[in-house]
Amino acid sequence: MGRVIFLVRDISPAKMIVATIPHLRKAGISCELWCEEHGRSADVAISQELSYKTIHPDEGVGPLFGGPLDHVALAVGFSSPMQLESIAAQQASRRKIPWVGFEDQAGVSSRCYERPDLLLTPDLLGESQAKKIWGRSLRTVIVGSHAVPDKPTIPRDDLVAWAEKEWKEKPVIVFSEFCSPENGAAEEQIAAAIRLMRQLPAPWRLCVRLHPKWEKIPAPGNGGRAFGTYLRQCFSPISERLVPSPVGPTTDEVIALPQVKAVVAGGATSSLTAAVVSGKVALSVVGERTRKMLKADFAGATQAPLVRLGLCTDVEADDPLIAERFLALVPTPISMVRERLRPFEGTIAAAAIRGLSA
């Protein structure tokens, strides 16, 4: 194999791909990175000083297959929802080009209708789920999770000073929202977060972190307001219990702050992983609409992958005793976390891709 064409849109699979490319290049393999416009993958490439090309969804995937296609492989991320990545996988299969899928959480390969020649998955759950979806003969390699740092996340000194000034010593819950605007799951989870805060003692505060993918897109049926603006306004009934969210640092850096005691998230998000690897409480909120979203995104599963790994607890969105459940939680032992999760290893991913030509 002489060349690998990468196509990705979302941040999570982009982190895996960007960490793999240098190892392939060291082995003498040419790598061409395409970032889908309107996604956040380009931000990841820029942060690692990797060159990339931008492709617009309206262009189709023709530009990817414009050059010589001998000794070529395609590698794609499984974004949500999949657009060009899925089309590119179909085109690769029709052209007899081997293609690789980068799976950031167990089950997300089901978002694609085409069976990959190689699936890179984060853990044993992902491997088991993939073989149920695509058959036991599917070639899989466990490469670890992009959400698990290879060393503890230490927030910057300026962020620590900011939190000490803005948050004081109050215990903080990070509410991490990653749902799209279409299915109403976000509102379901926000209602649960509001109920939780109303039931918790006064010192507890909530820091709202929204997924950057959905921040600026229009919120359906809400007068053209940006979805992020709309969601923040949904928290107005408990405005006195909110603390400001710092601008600039990643959510993982915020979660690592000493004032943060827990992460509450809607369904599945890498923020839950950041919580358990930081020794914080992690709670996944699920309800009817969230389950529908999980089923669509995670091959019919109704629980987040981290819950199925036994590293996180879930609670019903309409549970009247949600605060009681929350206060009874303790952080998952780090020893258990390390047994079931490991950091992403680009060397393993690169070796697996090179093995496609074997």
Q: Which of 78-82, 92-96, 171-175, 232-236 has the lowest mean pLDDT?
A: 78-82
Confidence of residue 338 (pLDDT cuts 50, 70, 90): very high
Q: Report the alpha-carbon distance of residue 228 to residue 30 in Å, rounded.
A: 39
Q: What is the pLDDT of residues 289-321, one digit of tens each?
A: 888 888 888 888 889 899 999 999 999 999 999
- The percent of the chain in helix, strand and coil, each rounded to the nearest 5, is 40, 20, 40
Q: What is the pLDDT of residues 106-118, one digit of tens each?
A: 989 988 889 999 9
- Residue 128 CA, distance from chain mean position: 19
Q: Which of 28, 10, 214, 212 is nearest to 102 (CA)?
A: 10
Q: Report the alpha-carbon distance of residue 197 to residue 259 in Å, rounded.
A: 16
Amino acid 299: pLDDT: 82
Q: Report the alpha-carbon distance of residue 355 to residue 358 in Å, rounded.
A: 5
Mean pLDDT computed over 48-70:
88
Q: What is the pLDDT of residues 23-58, one digit of tens each?
A: 999 999 999 999 998 888 999 999 999 999 999 988
Check whether 358 has a pLDDT greater than 60: no
Check whether 177 has a pLDDT greater than 80: no
Amino acid 270: pLDDT: 86
Amino acid 216: pLDDT: 75
Check whether 222 has a pLDDT greater than 80: no
User: Model-level pTM?
Assistant: 0.90
Partners of 281 in the β-ladder: 262
Which structure tokens are listed for 267? 């369904």
Percent of the chain with pLDDT over 90: 66
Which structure tokens are listed for 192? 């649960």
Amino acid 182: pLDDT: 66
Q: Which of 297, 358, 301, 313 is nearest to 103 (CA)?
A: 297
Residues 6+ apart with CB under 8 A from 157: none
Mean pLDDT computed over 259-272:
88
- Mapped onto helix, strand or coil, the DSSP state of residue 103 is coil
Q: Which of 286, 289, 263, 290 is nearest to 274 (CA)?
A: 263
Per-chain mean pLDDT for the chain = 91
Q: Which of 148-152, 158-162, 259-263 has the lowest mean pLDDT?
A: 148-152
Please answer whether residues 117 and 140 qualify as being in contact, where contact means their C-beta atoms are separated by less than 8 angstroms. no
Q: For residues 151 and 72, which has the higher predicted lDDT (pLDDT)?
A: 72
Tally Cβ neighbours within 10 Å of residue 66: 8
Amino acid 179: pLDDT: 66
Residues 6+ apart with CB under 8 A from 258: 160, 163
Cα–Cα distances (Å) from 343 to 243, 262, 274, 348, in that order, read 31, 21, 12, 11
Check whether 91 has a pLDDT greater than 70: yes
Tally Cβ neighbours within 10 Å of residue 212: 13
Residues 6+ apart with CB under 8 A from 202: none
Rg (CA), the chain: 20
What the chain holds in terms of domains, given with CATH numbers, is 3-147+342-357 (3.40.50.2000), 157-340 (3.40.50.2000)
